[in-house]
Amino acid sequence: MALFFFLTLSSPFFILCGDFTSVGMAEDLEFFPGMVTTSTLMAEDEMDEREALESRIPKAKDDLASAVAVTRGRPTLSVAVIALNEADRIERLLKSVRFADEILVVDSGSTDGTQALCRSYGAEVIDQPWMGYVAQKQFALEKANSEWVLSLDADEVVSEALAKEIVESLGSAPPEVVGFSIPRLSNYLRRWIRHGGWYPDRNIRMARKGRARWGGIDPHDKLAVDGRTLCLSQPILHFVYRNISDQLATIDRFSSIIAGRKGPASGIYLLAGLGHALAKFAECYLWKMGFLDGWAGLVIAMNSTWYVFLKYAKAWEIGLNENNSSRP
């Protein structure tokens, strides 16, 4: 908790100055106009904070050594991960979950050394062709061998504080408890995002084997349990999107999935998409105070708005193509 309090106090304050109109529409906005030296210093501070945080993850060895010993007296835990070409970032996750009894990685055909890297950390790797987000995560859940399963993504990290909380919670969980919800704190464009709807992003991520099932509609999956759940306080650390291009690639992929499921749509549907997109911007930037997340928040807001509109536009495009193909 001390770390997150430090990060919060160290984050740049929102200063409204300069020509707002030159910025345009902004979500999650933090203004630092003109002062290059100040911006540079703030960027360096945030980089230092991130490096300090990341350095703490591997250093959990000593503290977690005792936690691992404690795990012998509590129910066993598997960490289940789905992956595809994640060699550039999954190692951080693997280091952070060494306290688990099993690390299971379901890989859908990586060619970048992801599988070898995972095995070097003692993970069991299963080759499984891609079945979709929901089906792939359900497959991983079913293949886990422990009493409890913690489902994570390759770009996520279990902090030292969360690891300790998990160990303690599993050791004291009453029989009627079948799941735990965990908040998630995302890092994007070199800062922690705490507004705009990105935090606390709480979902059930750990459940008793046999008492949970992945559901939802691709690409938006959701773990559901058939019993009582408790809440953990420490967040999963989410290093979302490698860069803006990675976010745009995800938006393109997800919007295509959703538009394909919707099928052909008319121009009226496209117009509705415009209204929905504008409402999304107002929700993220104003109502959920995304402007407090600075320039990174602006990027998030605009890309979220684009994602919403793109879902409608691609469905309209499907209808346009079908109409053209039916003409002589």
281 shares a domain with 316 = yes
Coil, helix or strand at residue 298: helix
User: What pairs with residue 152 in β-bridges?
Assistant: 81
CB contact at 8 A, 106 and 81? yes
86 shares a domain with 185 = yes
Cα 280 from Cα 135, distance rounded (Å)? 29
Is residue 148 pLDDT above 80, yes or no? yes
Is residue 59 pLDDT above 90, yes or no? no
CA angle 274-275-279, nearest 5°? Answer: 120
pLDDT mean over 44-68: 49
Boundary residue ending a domain (219, 238, 257): 238
Select from 291, 148, 161 the least CA-distant residue to 227: 148
Select from 37, 66, 1, 33 the least CA-distant residue to 295: 33
Q: Confidence class of residue 105 from pLDDT cuts 50, 70 and 90? A: very high
Structure tokens at 266: 């008319």
122: left (phi over 0), alpha (psi -120 to 50) or beta: left
283 shares a domain with 213 = no
Residue 51 pLDDT: 56
Q: 3-15: per-residue pLDDT in tens? A: 333 334 344 433 3
Residue 43 lies inside a defined structural domain of this protein: yes
Q: Does residue 115 or residue 320 have the better pLDDT?
A: 115
Number of domains the chain contains: 2
Boundary residue ending a domain (193, 223, 238): 238
> pLDDT averaged over the chain?
84
The bridge status of strand 184-188 relative to strand 148-153 is unpaired
Is residue 31 pLDDT above 70, yes or no? no
Structural domain that includes position 113 = 73-238
114 shares a domain with 45 = no
Cα 243 from Cα 295, distance rounded (Å)? 14
